Amino acid sequence: MIYQRSSALFAEAEKYIPGGVNSPVRAFKSVGGTPVFIEKAKGAYLYDEDGNRLIDYIASWGPMILGHAHDPVINAVTEKAKKGTSFGMPTETETEIAKLAVSMVPNIDKIRFVNSGTEACMSAVRLARGYTGRDKVIKFAGCYHGHSDAFLIQAGSGAMTFGTPNSPGVPRGTAKDTLLATYNDPESVKTLFEANKDDIAAIIIEPIAGNMGCILPEKGFLEGLRSLCDEYGALLIFDEVMTGFRLAKGGAQEVLGIRADIVTFGKVIGGGMPVGAFASRNEIMDHLAPLGPVYQAGTLSGNPLAMSAGLAMLTELDQKPETFKSLEEKTQYLHKGIARILNKHGVPHQINRMGSMISVHFTEVEVRDFDSSATGNNDTFKKFFHGMLNEGIHLPPSAFESWFLNDALSYEDLDYTINAVDKIAPSL
Ligand SMILES: *Cc1c(COP(=O)(O)O)cnc(C)c1O
């Protein structure tokens, strides 16, 4: 594959956009080389500016669960656009998508739409703080909840200590209210509750983590968080920006059978438009302005273009729930195929998978939290990534990102992908 034009476009972009990209992971920093510039996409494929066709396992980081440029979504958006893109006034479409989302997801009565997953998580935490009258929030090392101040906190040396910001620009004062715990380690959470009894407003967690590779919650872990929250009067926030409407109609709550107090959404819920949302039961949601004192707003929030894309997407998933099964079967097929090949070539690896999320880690250690995920051999991942790209397969350009399958992928595409692994495995 030749990526000449992409390289030239990237060089030009770097002159005017910091790092040439509008979101850092796109820049290929952790795998080296320069990113592929996309011209268009349809179904399971991306078409780049050099005329290459790539099989896509990013799905715009999740939203394109039914494949790119999915007709019902594109039609809904084009029809809406002709009538105007934003009015800053209520529209019926907002109620339609809200009603549908509430019917699909367990334990929520009301939902509010914003413009990104970041905004959704930021607003969910404000609501939890406003509702409980407490300041501190527990998050887990390796979980990503968007780029707002309170969440850009790293583990540092001790998970039990106050967080320190891992980006300049995050005030220490903000960081000190974010407490860090270890994924799959309920004791680390219990310790934080015991030390900060009446100060913890909420736990925020990716119920199935996708931002340190795909990591599954072990038996009893989330149940333990639920009971700690109940015991100490804190709220449990499930960040379902990745898992919502991807693992099942009702997301991780439905799949795992655990009730969250607040749920955040993004990605699939917008059908590829900039949409996020947060939802809860009436008692909590009614604390939001204009009903209650917790302020939250947005000029373009719930705009008709974004809402029509999201509504078309959710309608498809609601009417064709077999999609989730089909996706899971495809992902399992890919999992088995890649594992068989890597085993054949003696490449040490772990594959984690849940529904249509999957990640390959080049390590001998079981990957169950951020530290074990970080044991992955990044040199091997780089070779794997570029080897696959050369075969026309676009994987997330970071070992810490989950792959997202879309239902437009055919078994031929999956076989092609597995064969590509067979080709490059000897060089790993
Ligand atoms: C992507 C993501 C976010 C942030 O969403 P943006 O739309 O990128 O702001 C938050 N939480 C999780 C779990 C995510 O995967």
Which residue has its alpha carbon closest to ligand 1 atom 15?
242
Label each residue of 68-136 as H, E or C. ECCHHHHHHHHHHHCCCCCCCCCCHHHHHHHHHHHHHCCCCCEEEEECCHHHHHHHHHHHHHHHHCCCE
What is the set of active-site residues? 144, 239, 267
Which residues lie below 8 Å from residue 369, measured CB to CB, with a gap of 6+? 141, 142, 182, 183, 184, 185, 212, 215
Look at residue 152 in the predicted model and tell me its pLDDT.
Answer: 84
Q: 266 alpha carbon to ligand 1 midpoint, in Å? A: 7
Candidates 3.40.710.10, 3.40.50.2300, 3.40.640.10, 1.10.3720.10; CATH matching 71-319:
3.40.640.10
How far is Cα 62 from Cα 242, in angstroms, rounded to an integer? 6
Output the tens digit of pLDDT for each of the chain's 428 residues: 788 999 999 999 999 999 999 998 899 988 999 999 999 999 999 999 999 999 999 999 999 999 999 999 999 999 999 999 999 999 999 999 999 999 999 999 999 999 999 999 999 999 999 999 999 999 999 999 998 988 887 533 333 344 566 778 888 888 889 999 999 999 999 999 999 989 999 999 999 999 999 999 999 999 999 999 999 999 999 999 999 999 999 999 999 999 999 999 999 999 999 999 999 999 999 999 999 999 999 999 999 999 999 999 999 999 999 999 999 999 999 999 999 999 999 999 999 999 999 999 999 999 999 999 999 999 999 999 999 999 999 999 998 899 999 999 999 999 999 999 999 999 99
Mutation probe of ligand 1 site: the residue of 242, 262, 263, 401 with most atoms within 8 A of C-beta: 242
Q: Which residues pair with 3 in a beta bridge?
A: none
CA 161 and chain centroid, separation: 26
Q: 144 alpha carbon to ligand 1 midpoint, in Å? A: 7
Kind of pairing, strands 235-239 and 110-114?
Answer: unpaired
Residue the block writes with tokens 């719930």: 302
How far is Cα 175 from Cα 181, in angstroms, rounded to an integer? 14
Q: Where are the domains of the chain?
A: 4-69+321-427, 71-319
Evaluate whether 4-69+321-427 and 71-319 have a shared fold. Answer: no
The helix (H) or strand (E) run that includes residue 419 is helix 411-424
Q: What is the CA radius of gyration of the chain?
A: 21
Q: 386 alpha carbon to ligand 1 midpoint, in Å? A: 25
Look at residue 161 in the predicted model and tell me its pLDDT.
Answer: 43
Mutation probe of ligand 1 site: the residue of 64, 139, 211 with most atoms within 8 A of C-beta: 211
If we measure between CA atoms, which residue out of 99, 149, 97, 98 comes closest to residue 121?
149
The angle formed by the CA atoms of residues 327, 73 and 335, to the nearest 5 degrees, is 15
CATH superfamily label, 4-69+321-427: Aspartate Aminotransferase, domain 1 (3.90.1150.10)
Q: Which atom of ligand 1 is nearest to the CA of 118?
A: 9
Which residue has its alpha carbon closest to ligand 1 atom 11?
145
Kind of pairing, strands 45-48 and 357-361?
Answer: unpaired
CA 38 and chain centroid, separation: 21
Q: 29 alpha carbon to ligand 1 midpoint, in Å? A: 19
**Ligand 1 — pocket residues by CB below 6 A?**
116-118, 121, 144-146, 206, 210-211, 239, 241-242, 266, 276
Q: 346 alpha carbon to ligand 1 midpoint, in Å? A: 35
Look at residue 131 in the predicted model and tell me its pLDDT.
Answer: 98
| Contact assessment for residue 251 and residue 258, using Cβ atoms and an 8 Å cutoff | no
Q: Which atom of ligand 1 is nearest to the CA of 266?
A: 7
Q: Which atom of ligand 1 is nearest to the CA of 146?
A: 4
Q: Which residues pair with 236 in a beta bridge?
A: 203
How far is Cα 173 from Cα 122, in angstroms, rounded to an integer? 16
